[in-house]
């Protein structure tokens, strides 16, 4: 009897211990689940595309995201500031802060150099890295618009920097690394703080709209305690004049092995059409460009299918592999979407306008009041648009 009682007592104690272990296990699981639920997902660089560049023509937007990387989160970017405007706990105000600022992104893609840049910097030193994502503002066919946005980005960054200074950060610890337009953004930030930031490194600062400008309109050596600049495309889209305390010109600052020849690696035009004939409705238009040497360039068309309405303007975007600087004629054709083609049908076009998006400084070309036969390609000689059409 005593043995049975002892056995039952031990068995009961064992069950009690097992229940205790189960409770601890369940508690720990709940804690892990709660932590995983509360942990914010990794920030990602804006995923944009050519469609966003096209949308920007009609609805320009500007957004800035600050992505923080440290050795505690080397591959998972976090927001520099929390929703309540408090500073991310991983940001160490006593350590150096490197700001990476990209440039013009007409294709909207993520910079291919970004992740390797972050990894190499963190391997070199224990620092804060802030990636400035202003892709929605840099993704546009209108380079001039992106240039204007650089000032806006700098002003926005200055507000974030003021907040960091309130949390104990120091301008001396700030190192801005700007690529292309990002180099000038860095300079504009430095100007706002009267040149008291620690360092600015300009990587191939953009040339168009900045070359020949006074120091107030571009990156300059007065924008930081130390400004170093690497020029790699001075005979193309980069700036040639020295800007920093020290300027480097690899390979003479000109062509670099393995680099694309242009910022697009392709060239873009937008064709605008206003039809006068109400019978031209559901169909698609193709166009070609002929240069002065008689060479025909055919584009890749985006969303060429259109539903045409009388006296409404429609735009067709075309991507060309080669630039067509001197256009002698424009080839145009219209096709019905349905299988029932009308070889005798004619349509009156009030206006055709061609505009280079790659080189917006070029005047647009126009053709006025002509007749287009269905399914028949027509080559027409354009002229500079009238002032009201530009």
Instruction: Quote the Cα angle for 258-259-260, to 5°.
Output: 125
Residue 203 makes CB contacts below 8 A (sequence gap 6+) with: 177, 178, 179, 180, 182, 183, 230, 232
Overall average pLDDT of the 157-179 stretch:
96
CA 180 from chain center: how many Å? 12
Overall average pLDDT of the 258-276 stretch:
72
Overall average pLDDT of the 101-129 stretch:
92
The token duo for 233 is 């495309």
The larger pLDDT score, comparing residue 303 to residue 385, is at 385
Do β-strands 365-373 and 346-356 pair in parallel, antiparallel, or remain unpaired? antiparallel
> For residue 70, what pLDDT is reported?
97
Helix (H, G, I), strand (E, B) or coil at 30: helix
Count the Cβ atoms, other than its own, within 10 Å of residue 38. Answer: 7
Highest mean pLDDT among 37-46, 155-164, 303-312: 155-164
Secondary structure string (H, E, C) spanning 206-226? ECCCCCCCCHHHCCCHHHEEE
pTM of the model: 0.65
Helix axes of 143-166 and 181-192: crossing angle, nearest 10 degrees: 40
pLDDT, the chain, mean:
86
Residue 80 pLDDT more than 90?
yes
The larger pLDDT score, comparing residue 219 to residue 311, is at 219
> For residue 7, what pLDDT is reported?
43
CA nearest neighbour of 179 among 123, 145, 234, 230: 230
- pLDDT tens for 117-138 read 999 999 999 999 999 999 999 9
Overall average pLDDT of the 323-327 stretch:
85
CA nearest neighbour of 382 among 316, 313, 299, 288: 288
């Amino acid at each position: 009897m005593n043995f049975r009682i002892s056995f039952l007592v031990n068995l009961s104690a064992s069950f009690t211990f097992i229940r205790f272990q189960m409770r601890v296990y369940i508690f720990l699981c709940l804690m892990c689940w709660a932590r995983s639920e509360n942990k914010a997902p990794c920030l990602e660089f804006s995923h944009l595309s050519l469609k966003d560049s096209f949308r920007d023509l009609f609805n320009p937007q500007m957004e800035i995201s600050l992505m923080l990387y440290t050795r505690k989160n080397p591959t998972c970017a976090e927001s520099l500031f929390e929703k309540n405007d408090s500073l991310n706990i991983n940001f160490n105000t006593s350590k150096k802060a490197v700001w990476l600022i990209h440039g013009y992104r007409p294709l909207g893609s993520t910079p291919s150099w970004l992740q390797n840049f972050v990894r190499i910097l963190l391997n070199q030193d224990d620092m804060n890295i802030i990636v400035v994502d202003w892709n929605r503002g840099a993704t546009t066919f209108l380079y001039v618009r992106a240039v204007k946005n650089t000032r806006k980005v700098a002003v926005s960054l200055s507000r974030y920097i003021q907040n960091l200074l309130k949390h104990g950060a120091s301008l001396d610890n700030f190192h801005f690394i700007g690529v292309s337009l990002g180099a000038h953004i860095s300079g504009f930030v430095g100007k706002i703080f009267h040149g008291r930031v620690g360092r600015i490194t300009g990587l191939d600062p953009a040339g168009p709209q900045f070359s020949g400008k006074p120091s107030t309109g571009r990156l300059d050596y007065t924008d930081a305690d130390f400004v170093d600049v690497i020029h790699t495309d001075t005979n193309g889209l980069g700036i040639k004049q020295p800007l920093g305390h020290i300027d480097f010109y690899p390979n003479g600052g000109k062509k670099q092995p393995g680099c694309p020849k242009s910022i697009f690696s392709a060239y873009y035009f937008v064709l605008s059409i206003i039809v006068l004939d109400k019978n031209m409705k559901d169909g698609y238009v193709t166009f070609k460009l002929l240069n002065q040497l008689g060479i025909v360039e055919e584009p890749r068309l985006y969303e060429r299918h259109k539903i045409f309405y009388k006296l409404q303007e429609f735009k067709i975007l075309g991507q060309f592999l080669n630039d067509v600087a001197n256009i002698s004629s424009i080839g145009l054709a219209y096709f019905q979407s349905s299988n029932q083609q009308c070889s005798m049908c004619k349509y009156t076009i009030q206006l055709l306008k061609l505009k280079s998006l790659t080189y917006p400084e070029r005047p647009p070309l126009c053709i006025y009041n002509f007749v287009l036969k269905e399914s028949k390609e027509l080559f027409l000689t354009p002229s500079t648009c009238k002032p009201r059409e530009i």
